[in-house]
């Protein structure tokens, strides 16, 4: 890998542009005052779209910047696309909610932009230093957004909890990173890959370092047993923020998880595979069992996201190109299902008051058939029932697991399908409440145009993904392959 004589900034141009734009929008907000929230929000969405175009123009080829500390390739591009879509949609969905709840401040879109910058750096991290930089930039912005409804006790509590546990995980990650540096002598992923070829014994200090970093990352992707913050934060944070948390940061953290394990430590798979398998099993089981007792739909979604991470980790545990392909397809489809579900949750309001109980959905099929149909599609998709998109995401994951022909992976797949049946129970419960129960009340109408558009697109994509699965899976295939190019 040639290192340019002078630092090349070009591959990092989208991130640089995004950071500058975020600061610019901050200025716009400050000078135009409180009334500028809507303007800043739409500008932020435009910026995200512009950055996406910019990122796509940089190209799919592998390029590095900052002396190899920063890398873009097809994998980074795929994940960045998901992150940018997730962030942009979150801003769109938040506008009306924030106005209705008196928290419409122009800082929100700016914070989301800054967090997104951090996420993009995470996705492109090719060095432990870059990894930490991106992660912290993201996390600090997220802590603030979690407690954005600062007069609400629950929101403040969520922010505080997120901060304390997030800081703890960052600490562990940092500790692990320093162990890795201490025992391997380098922080660069490329050099680590050269040093660690898998031949000969591996020092246990290095293993401990890797495990600590994995723990830190498991916090960020909310894998069991490092998931405790998730239900509380999801429940406490304002709903659009929860929607944002459930999507964009998760994409970035999974991307980072994959690159960190595959690029520098791919040869040491025997050392870390069992850790991932454990995280995966624990997440799938807890995600499906603990969700059964939930009556708050945001908490339900929190446990659901824990379960989904468990499935995605199956692909990572396989650590093959098709495994990574599976994860990428999974995350792409997860993005649409999740955004759609949260769009429905944002529609759950009576006389201007937000509702969060699953039972508040009772009889929705009678009162608002379109909304009920959309949520039913998302729920069946999350349960992985064909022909919805959710089936294909699970299919690619299980394809990868069986392909390895390892007993442990096949066992993992079996646990995966069994927990997916348990999980189906609580997704079906939502459908049951909407379709089988008598109407309890009517939600406010009309649904805002933004939410309608989001709902329509996500529902159509989730339902009719099967008509044309190749574009997504094909780019995921290319993205996964780019990670394994030596």
Partner 1 sequence: MNHWPLLSLVTFLPLVGVGFIMTTRGDAEIVARNAKNIALSTSVIVFLLSLLLWVYFDPSTAAFQFVEKARWVKIGGFEVNYHMGIDGISLFFVLLSTLLTPICVLASWQSIHSQVREYMIAFLVLETLMVGMFCALDFIVFYVFFEGVLIPMFLIIGIWGHSNRVYAAFKFFLYTLLGSVLMLLAIIAVYYQTGSTDIETALHYSFPFALQKWLFLAFLASFAVKVPMWPVHTWLPDAHVEAPTAGSVILAGVLLKMGGYGFVRFSLPMFPLASHYFTPLMFALSAIAVIYTSLVALAQTNMKKLIAYSSIAHMGFVTMGIFAVTSEAVQGAVIQMLSHGLVSGALFLCVGVLYDRMHNYDIARYGGLVERMPAYGFVFMAFTLASVGLPGTSGFVGEFLILLGTFRVSTLECFLAATAMFLGAAYMLYLYRRVVFGTITRDDLRNILDLSAREKAVFVPLLLLVLWMGVYPSSFLGPIRASVDNLVQQVGAAEAGQHASAE
Residue 425 binding partner 1, by CB under 8 A: yes
Rounded distance, CA 72 to CA 11, Å? Answer: 6
Q: How far is the CB of 367 from partner 1 (least distance, A)?
A: 12
Among residue numbers 438 through 467, which ones bind partner 1 (CB under 8 A)?
A: 466
Rounded distance, CA 287 to CA 224, Å? Answer: 8
Residue 405 binding partner 1, by CB under 8 A: yes
Residue 169 · residue 219 · CB < 8 Å: yes
Among residue numbers 210 through 249, which ones bind partner 1 (CB under 8 A)?
A: none
Residue 342 binding partner 1, by CB under 8 A: no
Among residue numbers 302 through 321, which ones bind partner 1 (CB under 8 A)?
A: 321
Q: Of 73-81, 164-172, 268-276, 364-372, which part binds partner 1 (CB under 8 A)?
A: 364-372
Among residue numbers 110 through 149, which ones bind partner 1 (CB under 8 A)?
A: none
Rounded distance, CA 293 to CA 300, Å? Answer: 9
Residue 484 binding partner 1, by CB under 8 A: no
Torsion of CA 371, 86, 338, 452, to 10 degrees: 0
Rule CB under 8 A: choose which of 188, 283, 338, 477 binds partner 1.
477
Residue 469 binding partner 1, by CB under 8 A: yes
Residue 301 binding partner 1, by CB under 8 A: no
Rounded distance, CA 363 to CA 440, Å? Answer: 6
Q: Of 30-38, 66-74, 104-112, 394-402, which part binds partner 1 (CB under 8 A)?
A: 394-402
The Cβ of residue 20 has, within 10 Å, a number of other Cβ atoms equal to: 12
Angle between helices 107-124 and 13-32 (to 10 degrees): 170
Residue 482 binding partner 1, by CB under 8 A: no
Q: How far is the CB of 246 from partner 1 (least distance, A)?
A: 25
Residue 421 binding partner 1, by CB under 8 A: yes
Rounded distance, CA 430 to CA 335, Å? Answer: 19
Among residue numbers 372 through 391, which ones bind partner 1 (CB under 8 A)?
A: 380, 385-387, 391
Helix (H) or strand (E) segment spanning residue 194: helix 189-195
Distances (CA, A) of 232 to 235, 263, 357: 5, 34, 15
Which residues make beta-bridge pairs with 188?
A: 127
DSSP 357: B
Q: For binding to partner 1 (CB under 8 A), which residues are involved?
A: 321-322, 325, 365-366, 369, 380, 385-387, 391, 395, 398-399, 402-403, 405, 410, 413-414, 417-418, 420-421, 424-425, 428, 431-432, 435-436, 466, 469-470, 473-474, 477
């Amino acid at each position: 890998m040639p290192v340019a004589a002078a630092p090349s900034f070009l591959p990092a141009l989208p991130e640089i542009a995004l950071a500058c734009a975020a600061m610019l929008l901050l200025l716009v907000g400050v000078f135009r005052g409180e009334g500028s929230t809507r303007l800043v929000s739409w500008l932020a969405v435009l910026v995200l779209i512009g950055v996406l175009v910019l990122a796509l123009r940089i190209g799919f080829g592998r390029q590095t910047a900052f002396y190899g500390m920063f890398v873009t390739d097809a994998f980074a591009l795929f994940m960045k696309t998901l992150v940018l879509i997730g962030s942009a949609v979150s801003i769109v969905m938040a506008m009306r909610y924030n106005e209705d709840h008196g928290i419409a401040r122009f800082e929100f879109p700016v914070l989301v932009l800054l967090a997104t910058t951090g996420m993009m750096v995470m996705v492109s991290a090719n060095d432990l230093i870059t990894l930490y930089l991106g992660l912290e930039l993201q996390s600090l912005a997220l802590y603030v957004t979690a407690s954005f409804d600062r007069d609400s006790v629950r929101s403040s509590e969520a922010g505080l909890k997120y901060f304390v546990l997030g800081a703890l995980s960052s600490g562990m990650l940092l500790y692990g990173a320093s162990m890795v540096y201490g025992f391997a002598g380098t922080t660069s992923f490329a050099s680590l890959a050269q040093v660690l070829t898998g031949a000969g014994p591996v020092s246990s200090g290095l293993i401990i370092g890797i495990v600590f970093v994995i723990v830190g990352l498991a916090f960020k992707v909310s894998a069991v047993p490092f998931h405790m913050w998730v239900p509380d934060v999801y429940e406490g944070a304002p709903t659009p923020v929860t929607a944002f948390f459930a999507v964009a940061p998760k994409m970035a953290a999974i991307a980072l998880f994959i690159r960190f394990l595959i690029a520098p430590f791919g040869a040491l798979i025997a050392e870390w595979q069992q850790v991932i398998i454990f995280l995966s099993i624990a997440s799938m089981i807890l995600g499906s069992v603990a969700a059964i007792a939930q009556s708050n739909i945001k908490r339900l979604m929190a446990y659901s996201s824990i379960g989904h991470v468990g499935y995605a980790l199956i692909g990572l545990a396989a650590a093959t190109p098709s495994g990574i392909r599976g994860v990428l397809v999974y995350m792409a489809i997860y993005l649409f299902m999740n955004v759609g579900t949260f769009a429905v949750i944002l529609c759950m309001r009576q006389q201007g008051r937000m509702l969060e109980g699953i039972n508040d959905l009772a009889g929705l099929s009678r009162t608002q058939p379109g909304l009920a149909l959309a949520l039913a599609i998302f729920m069946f998709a999350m349960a992985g029932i064909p022909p919805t998109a959710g089936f294909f995401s699970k299919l690619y994951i299980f394809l990868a697991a069986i392909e390895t022909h390892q007993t442990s992976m096949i066992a993992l797949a079996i646990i995966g399908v069994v927990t997916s049946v348990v999980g189906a129970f609580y997704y079906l419960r939502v459908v049951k409440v909407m379709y089988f129960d008598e109407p309890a009340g009517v939600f406010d109408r009309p649904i805002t145009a933004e939410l309608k558009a989001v709902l329509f697109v996500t529902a159509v994509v989730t339902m009719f993904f099967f008509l044309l699965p190749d574009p997504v899976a094909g780019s995921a295939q290319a993205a996964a392959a780019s990670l394994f190019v030596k």
